[in-house]
Amino acid sequence: MIALSLADVSQAVDGALHLGVGATITDVVEGSVQTDSRLIEPGSIFVAKPGAVTDGHLFAPLAAERGATLLIVERLLDLPVTQIVVADAVAALGDLAGAVVARVRAAGGLRIVGVTGSNGKTTTKNLLRSMLERVGPTVAPRGSFNNQVGAPMTMLEVTVDTRFLVIEMGASSEGAIAHLVRLARPDVGIVLTIGLAHAGEFGDLDATVRAKSEMVTDLLETDVAVLNADDPRVAQMAALTPARVVRFGEYGQVDVRASAVLSGRTGTTFTLHLASGQSATVVFPVLGEHHVMNALAAASAAEVLGVAIDDIVAALEATTRAERWRMEVLGGKDDVTVINDAYNASPDSMSAALKTLAQIGTPGRRTIAVLGEMAELGELAGEEHDRIGLLAVRLNISQIIVVGKAARRMHISTINEGSWDGESAYVDTPDEAFELLRSSVNPGDTVLVKSSNSAGLRFLGDRLGDLFS
């Protein structure tokens, strides 16, 4: 964190300052801000965040022992360390992040990009970071730090030298993105897709649209909204923002587009057309044609921020995977390809992954889809799992292995398709799936492992990758 006095921090979080032994209000803190006591180093700030399972206050003594110089707490603790008592530790974390970003922005030079959407946030964030790093110091989230805790933690990493800040903004309810937008005040807001991911939390698609549109409704006239013109629900957000709109897509009237898209086992080749009229051929190593849209979104924002087309293309061509456990290509032994895409899953991303599998399979060899639960779909879960099972049949996937009771309807849907001459198997656990695959995968087969994170199939994908490496 940038250097702030204890008085400054206390004012930023609207808390009551209780000085530790020998401390004064002018003392400066500038260590890392952590909510995990195991990550505390001498000089760190520990935020005692209440959790669903435990309470951060229980770990405050360990944080103090490890050298924390400041605790942000919801109740005063019997510890000889300076503490700021606040009403809500998570809200205080956000307020502190907002204050830090505002100070750095006021010093001049910091540009901020917010990224949201039902699918593709992390991939787009990673691509954009790679592009912006070629121009200047850039801060972006580690992994999927995109909620009311993760986003502020990313914001707190900025320094006076930071030129670009990329924030991934997820939401579990209406108002969550609006809150993050108010804290960070993006210069560029990206909306990727609107789909059924987390439909169980939002209730319906209309609520999802309202939540995601919060990215652009509070932008200023001097800001830029980057919108996916191929998604009608996103495209209509152009009418909701006062900002300048840059549209990206593969179809219709757009500012940034891809043409001559050709997808294969080693990635996708396409021609990138920027809003400036410049174009270039891109050899994009990331597997899956659907990731071209993420590349377009990142390129749109990068061009707005002054990144040259050569740097944009170089960043895309240097990216070999979307992210750990996202369309990650493993294996290779006996020409067996394992695609580990089991970090998350929604109906849209599951469909895209299956279409990619069907598209890249080696002629004369089998395509095998190992599928687990799509979580957080609420009352739509049953019909959406049915739909994915039917899609796998219609794509003529050679074999389907469904893992776990929550995903069993996919298996039932496939075997009910009497015209299908493929095979579907159901197993209860990833271990059973591994044993089945170990004895049945043939040379040249292509295996997709796809599920939500909670199903745990990403580790099955890793085991298969090791088996065939």
User: In angstroms, rounded to a whole number, what is the distance separating the alpha carbons of residues 323 and 325?
Assistant: 6
CB-CB contact of 354 with 369 (8 Å) = yes
Annotated binding site: 117-123
- Return the closest-CA partner of residue 123 out of 306, 298, 376: 298
The CA-atom distances, in angstroms, between 307 and each of 5, 114, 352, 382 are 36, 17, 29, 45
- Angstrom distance (rounded) from CA 27 to CA 280: 53
For residues 2 and 45, what is the distance between their CA atoms, to the nearest angstrom?
A: 12
| Whole-number Å distance between alpha carbons of 434 and 430 | 6
In sequence order, the β-bridge partners of residue 45 are 33, 70
Distance CA 175, CA 438 (A): 47
Sole residue written with tokens 């360990």: 62
Pair 174, 210: CB distance under 8 Å: yes
Q: Which residues are annotated as a binding site for ATP?
A: 117-123
Instruction: Give the burial class of 390: count Cβ atoms within 10 A of its Cβ; 0-12 exposed, 13-18 middle, 19 or more buried.
Output: middle
